[in-house]
Amino acid sequence: ETGVTQTPRHLVMGMTNKKSLKCEQHLGHNAMYWYKQSAKKPLELMFVYNFKEQTENNSVPSRFSPECPNSSHLFLHLHTLQPEDSALYLCASSQDRGYVYNEQFFGPGTRLTVL
Amino acid sequence: GQQLNQSPQSMFIQEGEDVSMNCTSSSIFNTWLWYKQEPGEGPVLLIALYKAGELTSNGRLTAQFGITRKDSFLNISASIPSDVGIYFCAGQSREFYFGTGTSLTVIP
């Protein structure tokens, strides 16, 4: 138990569906991250929020839309995805992007399959 | 983005053997982190290193922050079956960069 939870753990969706992934952290952190993990590839950073403000968008297609209503919650809204978007989506949190001791703690991930 | 070269890609070892893996980069990092990921789960932080030359242990795990700040290694002593998983290094300068992982299989 890392203090970061993600729901759902598994999601199967068609290319025309709209769904959302949810992440919640109970660590009192101020920074939250979305990563995509595909087989045989390093973790790909998608979005970063620090104190609820989006500070990074790593050229992610607009079919992925993040939302951070407060420092404890992070969403990833999905619409008209492609089969190549199938992957494990990981949420992480850390104290503060500007803080020296800034280890990231990960949730268990959502395994997404796009049909 | 920056590349972290992690090696080896995979290891098959007998229970009780020691394990060593490392990460190298062409860039300097301020922090090195080592994570373990088991099937169906997210990465779990094992060890964090903050100073060049720092050597830190966590049970049977030992990691070092290279003097040049461009590399780090992780050792696991006396491996056991539950050590199975994928081990990732991560380096932080302004951002985090992750290695491609070392897949460890321990044969009882």
Judged by a CB distance cut-off of 8 A, whether residue A105 touches chain B is yes
Strand-pair partners of B23: B6, B72
Mutate: best of B32, B51, B96, partner A, most A CBs <10 A: B96
CB atoms within 10 A of CB A74: 27
pLDDT score at B39: 87
Mean pLDDT of the A8-12 span: 96
Asked if A106 lies within 8 A of B90 by C-beta distance, the reply is no
- pLDDT of residue A1 exceeding 90, the answer is no
State how far residue B107 is from chain A, nearest Cα, in angstroms.
Answer: 23
Asked if A90 lies within 8 A of B33 by C-beta distance, the reply is no
pLDDT score at B2: 64
Using CA coordinates, name the residue in chain B closest to A41. Answer: B100
- The residue among B50, B54, B43, B51 whose CA lies nearest residue B99 is B43
Q: Residue B99: its chain A contacts at CB < 8 A?
A: 42
The whole-number mean pLDDT for each consecutive block of 10 residues of chain B, a chain of 108 residues, reads 85 97 94 93 94 96 96 97 96 87 95
For residues A43 and B1, give the distance between their C-alpha atoms in angstroms, rounded to a whole number. Answer: 11
- pLDDT (tens digit per residue) in A42-100: 889 999 998 888 887 778 999 999 999 999 999 999 999 999 999 999 999 998 877 66
Judged by a CB distance cut-off of 8 A, whether residue A40 touches chain B is yes
Question: Between these two residues, A41 and B14, which has the higher pLDDT value?
Answer: B14
- pLDDT (tens digit per residue) in A17-39: 899 999 999 999 999 999 999 98
pLDDT score at B1: 54
pLDDT score at A34: 96
pLDDT score at B104: 97
Using CA coordinates, name the residue in chain B closest to A91. Answer: B42
Total number of residues shown for chain A: 115
pLDDT score at B102: 95
